[in-house]
Structure 1
Amino acid sequence: MLETRARLFDAALAEIGRSGLASADVTAIASAVGVARGTFYFHFPTKEHVLIELERNEEARIVAELDLAQTDTDDLVAVLSLLVRRVVAAERQLGPVVFREMLGLHFSANRPIEDDVSEHPLAEFVIGAITAAREAGRVSSQADAAEMGVFFLTGLFALLATGAHATAADAVVARYVTTMVKGMETR
């Protein structure tokens, strides 16, 4: 059962990578695994659920990598820049179509799950980094770390989902991080 689910997950990601989310064919996914179409729906209520699971897996992986990295936690620009580099690396690993479809769900009425920030390891990491910077006096004590974290990630995901960073990725993303942190800093 778990093996079938894993094979369906991989086949769905391959199909989404080829066709995009809207055009991905559940029948083709099931056929690639050698199961009935209904088996896909037994494991994943919608194609969007595949991308949500992928997002959770990627977030957990990225946060584990960040936890292992030696980073000066007082330097919010450095911490968030490292996070962004890990997210951009995920785009290269997943491919641009799957990556953008995954991020695009944050801005879609078709997102099947209304979830809480606590269900997103990446959001918890960013909120923790902002909280630490606030406690160190680098971010305004008036700043709500949860709001600032959501603003940061929403803007980042929009930037990456639209591909606006593609032509000058490092410069655009670096400017984004710096601008966001400057807006949070104490004055």
Structure 2
Amino acid sequence: MGPTRLPSAAPSSGGGVREARRRETRARLFEAALAEMTQHGLAAADVSAIATAAGVARGTFYFHFPTKEHVLIEVERNEEIRIVGELADAVGDLWSVLSQLVHQILRAKSRLGATVFRDMLGLHFSSARPIEDELAQHPLAEFLVDVITQAQNARQVPQELNAEELGTFFLTGLFALLATGAHDPELLDRYVSTIVKGMEMR
């Protein structure tokens, strides 16, 4: 009798195991990096300490994350997806929806902690931020463009204005305010009011 052959599904099964291990290692590194950044901040976070905490070699970190900034980009995207989910049933006029968006972003500070939240915002104004070209890579911006487009369809905002540019302008100003520590709800409400008045039909 010849040698027993493994079922043809075995290679893909082995590949599935390897992929599961890769994902598990990446998840450990992500959590270790987030813990290190929470304690020390992005600039002082030690990749060797992250790798040790995750139980892997230092080079393994760079296999999964080219830079520490890539970890924060992923943190941000996860938060944006969560915020957009929370706002899925948001109702009201443009001012109301944008105000809800601002308050949801402030809730992210409570979840992430002040240090990670500050570094995440600061990364928007840093030359070290990894380049992202597609709008789909920014769930919050994509949501905002949809909200502004709906306001245009309702004739609250002029059709000739570019919704993507308006959304970028709103978020850039908001992130700049928050990055400087301006978290007062009344100040942020005034910011929303000012931007909305600038968008609305005259």
Please state if 1:151 is matched with 2:182: no
Per the alignment, residue 201 of structure 2 pairs with 186
Larger Rg belongs to? 2
Aligned-residue sequence identity (percent) comes to 64
Amino acid at match of 2:201: T
In 1: Cα distance, 2:61 partner to 2:120 partner:
19
Aligned match of 2:122 in 104, 122, 133?
A: 104
RMSD (Å) for aligned C-alpha atoms: 1.1
Per the alignment, residue 131 of structure 1 pairs with 149
Deviations 1:160-180 (A, max 9, x none): 112122xxx211111111111
Which blocks of at least 5 consecutive residues in structure 1 are unaligned? none
Deviation at 1:117, TM superposition (A): 2.3
Amino acid at match of 2:80: E
3-state SS in 1 of match to 2:91: coil
In 2: Cα distance, 1:13 partner to 1:117 partner:
25
TM-score, normalised to structure 1, is 0.93
Which blocks of at least 5 consecutive residues in structure 2 are unaligned? 1-21
Instruction: Check whether the contact 2:90–2:97 (CA below 8 A) recurs between aligned residues.
Output: no
Displaced runs of 4 or more, over 6 A:
none
Number of corresponding residues: 181
In 2: Cα distance, 1:43 partner to 1:118 partner:
21
Amino acid at match of 1:186: M
Deviation at 1:18, TM superposition (A): 1.1
Amino acid at match of 2:91: T
Q: For residues 144 and 70 of structure 1, do their structure 2 counterparts lie closer, same or farther at Cα, with a shift above 3 Å needed?
A: closer
| 1:52-67 alignment, distance < 5 Å | 52-67=73-88
Instruction: Check whether the contact 2:152–2:159 (CA below 8 A) recurs between aligned residues.
Output: yes
